[in-house]
Amino acid sequence: MSSPPALSVYRHDTINRALLTLAGEIDLDSAPLVHASLERCLRNGIHAIDVDVTAVTFCDCSGLNAFLYALLHTTAAGKSLQLHHPSPALERLVTLTGSGSLFLALPDAFAGSRPPPWPSPIHQAAHRLPPAMTALPGGVL
């Protein structure tokens, strides 16, 4: 029996706008799905990408990183990306990192610049790390 995916992505397109609805958890394992879904919108000629994160129950820094990479790519292509209805936890993550305003308006500083490669070297290195050590009895590492 297989477990359900940690993240589901639903896409609805209009003429040149896409609504991506994400449901579930965005973490190191599911962030590449977020990235691929957003990149696919750009390859399909979408000009504005709206991401509904109402049903996102968890998002860590790798999820935020996927959104930021997508933002750089959309901005460099002269297009837009906006997050809608973030949970208080996701809103806090975006606010604590100072990236909240990036999703509200296109930063002119990135227009026409080449976005960094995906996956990033940090993302690749994280997947090569050995599993974390388990605690010994008594909670000592």
> Is residue 50 exposed (0-12), middle (13-18) or buried (19+ Cβ within 10 Å)?
middle
Q: Which amino acid is at 43?
A: R
3-state helix, strand, coil in the chain (%, to 5): 40, 25, 35
pLDDT in tens, 13-58: 988 899 999 999 999 999 999 999 999 999 999 999 999 999 999 9
pTM above 0.75, yes or no: no
For the chain, what is the radius of gyration of the CA atoms? 16
At 30 the pLDDT is 93
- pLDDT greater than 60 at residue 91: yes
Most confident of 58-67, 95-104, 121-130: 58-67
